[in-house]
Amino acid sequence: MASIRQSASVASAVCKQTVNPRVAHSVASVPTCSPAVSLSSATRLASSPLLQSSHRLAPPSSYSPCTRQTRTFLTQLRRQAQALKEQPISSNPTIPSKPKAPKPALQLTNLPYFVRRTGSNQLPVYLVTKAGGTKQLTKIQKTEGDLDTLRSDLAYTLGVDQRSSDVSINRLNGHIIVKGWRKPEIVAFLQERNF
């Protein structure tokens, strides 16, 4: 019974010493500061000459808390695997890669209208059928600015009379509606204006 009390008191003394900043570096290899530390390891730590000499040599910046954190084997494997993934893999390192030609810079235009892209970075041009499939329309959504100018430019590009009802504007929601399925031409029109 006395040996258990002595081991508990020695273990608590070791924990108190590790809280002391001078000794914290030398006792950092103790896995935990609990009374469950065995008598032999606690007395070995308390009586070791390394413990008594190293607390004088340790710089103040190298103090660590009571428990020492070590990497597990799995953590080391994960880090090695991550490092291997980050390294580029080349099948034949002797073939030099040709430098890519730089892309021309986008020219921003000062048009009085703008067409926003969708959330998936697509142009908002949609094909619509009505009247049982006999009425075919192409709709441009997400338009902003001067819609009359957009309508006239689009009609000119499509080769339609600018005053005809083939290209119309829905003023309530800002959609431009074109008669017929003209999606490829409208997408090309918007892309050449960098929308």
Write out pLDDT tens, residues 69-118: 566 777 777 777 777 777 766 555 555 556 665 555 545 568 899 999 99
At 2, phi and psi to the nearest 5? Answer: -70, -35
Residue 147 covered by a domain: yes
Residue 15 covered by a domain: yes
Residue 131 covered by a domain: yes
Place of tokens 């040996």: 3
Residue 8 covered by a domain: yes
pLDDT average, residue stretch 146-169 = 93
Residue 81 covered by a domain: no
In whole angstroms, give the CA distance from residue 151 to residue 165.
11
Stronger pLDDT, 129 or 53, i.e. the higher one: 129
How many CB atoms within 10 Å of residue 11?
24
Write out pLDDT tens, residues 2-58: 555 555 555 555 455 544 444 444 444 444 444 444 444 444 444 545 444 444 544
pLDDT average, residue stretch 134-160 = 95
Q: 56 and 118 in one domain?
A: no
Stronger pLDDT, 122 or 65, i.e. the higher one: 122
Count of structural domains, the chain: 2
Q: 117 and 188 in one domain?
A: yes
Radius of gyration of the chain (CA): 38
Residue 144's domain comprises 113-192
For residues 107-131, b (16+ Cβ closer than 10 Å) or e, as one string?
Answer: eeeeeebebeeeeeeebbbeeeeee
Angle at 82 between CA 79 and CA 86, to 5 degrees: 140
181 CB burial (10 A radius; 0-12, 13-18, 19+): middle
Q: 51 and 121 in one domain?
A: no
Q: What is the pTM of this model?
A: 0.45
Nearest to 191 by CA among 112, 119, 125: 125
Please report the DSSP string for 120-188 in residue order.
Answer: TS---EEEEEEGGGTEEEEEE-SEEE-HHHHHHHHHHHHT--TTSTTEEEETTTTEEEEES--HHHHHH
Q: What is the CATH number of the domain that holds 182?
A: 3.30.780.10
